[in-house]
């Protein structure tokens, strides 16, 4: 039975007659407390709002009218879902960011099949990544697609964490230089080497890949040194191939191309080489935003926040969310309205606020519990 729990001792309550108004009365058999169950209409409205947000349905497809739905749920846009600080340490954390055009980026951390943290920023700078990393203990290894500023932030916040560059993105970086149909023999060979990254799964195959790549570098070294003189300046003839080689050399030198192999040798077990876990999260977020096209920027940001929160390991029920989560009145952040007011009636800021301390608004101190 779906009996309520006692607000005094937490024990289950049993039916105990009705009030004069005909409402069911409940009594705790443990401590004797008596009361009635109240319907939390705000929690039910929030549940309906979140069910719509995570669905493919447009408001026009709902059983209720558009005006009725928004009258009952539009206030939910004022809530800011905050990432829970669990303090749990993970072996591997996947990091990536989802851009909202060029106006903002939400940095996301995934571990153990769940979203563990997120952070709103204007760019993928080191300071933004550091703010995200500061929300969780340092993992043994992080996997990323090579976002700018991430390595610098990891060196400062997670100095003992190994960095694994997603091998799929590393191969794509080479393909952007060679194209998928290179005309030069050197380009054809380098494309084949890049495609071989997906087959490097252990120490033996990684060593074979490095030997093949070193052989390519030695064979085509003189070819890549060819240059022409244009307008009195020396220009490398095969600059795109040199760029591809330069990128791979940096990854090999930093040890981030096959960090997962070293972790296998040191700790045993399987360690990931790609960023697929967080890329799948980004794909699902894109689907959600596409299903609900036309939202202002601040609503798109909050929609991503809601999705991330509901895909954490233990999201709170709606009634508890209403009790602990901050609202627009509590938050001073990146998307807060400017002091002069935005003059808009759709809930979106007209411009970024000025003089606002936004670095901590995702998890204010009083919400760290």
Q: Is 93 strand, coil or helix?
A: strand
234: CB partners within 8 A, 6+ apart: 227, 228
CA angle 149, 155, 159 (to 5 degrees): 150
* pLDDT by position in tens, the chain (length 369): 578 888 788 788 888 888 888 888 889 988 988 888 777 789 999 999 999 999 998 888 888 898 999 999 999 999 999 988 888 999 999 999 999 988 899 999 999 999 999 999 999 999 999 999 999 999 999 999 988 899 999 999 999 999 999 999 999 999 999 999 999 999 999 999 999 999 999 999 999 999 999 999 999 999 999 999 988 898 999 999 999 999 999 999 999 999 999 999 999 999 999 999 999 999 999 999 999 999 999 999 999 999 999 999 999 999 899 999 999 888 765 455 444 444 444 444 444 443 334 444 454 444 443
Tokens representing residue 260 in the block: 């997962």
- CA 252 to CA 6: how far, in whole Å? 61
Per the CB < 8 A criterion, the answer to whether 349 and 338 are in contact is yes
Give 237-242 contacts, CB < 8 A, sequence gap 24+.
Answer: 238/184, 238/186, 240/177, 240/178, 241/177, 241/178, 241/184, 241/186, 241/187, 241/190
Domains along the chain with CATH numbers: 1-37 (2.20.25), 39-127+296-369 (no CATH), 128-277 (no CATH)
Model pTM above 0.85: no
- CA 351 to CA 345: how far, in whole Å? 14
């Amino acid at each position: 039975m779906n009996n309520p729990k006692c607000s005094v001792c937490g024990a289950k309550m049993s039916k105990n007659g009705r009030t004069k108004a005909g409402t069911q009365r409940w009594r705790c058999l443990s401590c004797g407390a008596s009361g009635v169950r109240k319907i939390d209409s705000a929690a039910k409205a929030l549940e309906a709002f979140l069910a719509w947000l995570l669905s493919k349905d447009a408001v026009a497809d709902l059983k209720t009218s558009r005006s009725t739905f928004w009258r009952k749920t539009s206030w939910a846009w004022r809530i800011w879902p905050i990432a829970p600080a669990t303090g749990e340490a993970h072996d591997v954390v996947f990091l990536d960011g989802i851009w909202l055009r060029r106006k903002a980026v939400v940095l996301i951390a995934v571990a153990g099949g769940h979203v563990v943290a997120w952070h709103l920023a204007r760019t993928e700078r080191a300071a933004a990544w550091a703010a995200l990393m500061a929300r969780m203990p340092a993992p043994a290894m992080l996997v990323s697609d090579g976002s700018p500023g991430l390595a610098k932030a990891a060196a400062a916040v997670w100095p003992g964490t190994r960095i694994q560059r997603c091998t799929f993105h590393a191969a794509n970086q080479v393909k952007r230089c060679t194209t998928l149909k290179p005309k030069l023999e050197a380009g054809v060979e380098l494309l084949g080497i890049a495609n071989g990254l997906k087959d490097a799964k252990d120490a033996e195959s990684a060593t074979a890949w490095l030997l093949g790549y070193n052989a390519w570098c030695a064979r085509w070294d003189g070819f890549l040194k060819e240059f022409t003189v244009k307008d009195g300046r020396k220009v490398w003839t095969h600059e795109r191939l040199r760029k591809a080689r330069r990128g791979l050399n940096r990854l090999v030198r930093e040890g981030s191309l096959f960090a997962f192999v070293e972790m296998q040798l040191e700790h045993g077990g399987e360690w990931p080489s790609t960023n697929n876990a967080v890329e799948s999260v980004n794909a699902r977020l894109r689907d959600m935003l596409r299903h609900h096209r036309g939202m202002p920027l601040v609503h798109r940001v909050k929609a991503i926040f809601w999705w991330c929160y509901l895909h954490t390991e233990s999201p709170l029920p709606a009634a508890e969310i209403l009790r602990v989560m901050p609202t627009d009145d509590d938050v001073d952040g990146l998307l807060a309205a400017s002091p002069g007011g935005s003059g808009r009636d759709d809930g979106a800021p007209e411009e970024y606020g000025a003089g606002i301390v936004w670095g901590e608004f995702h998890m204010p101190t009083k919400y760290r519990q």
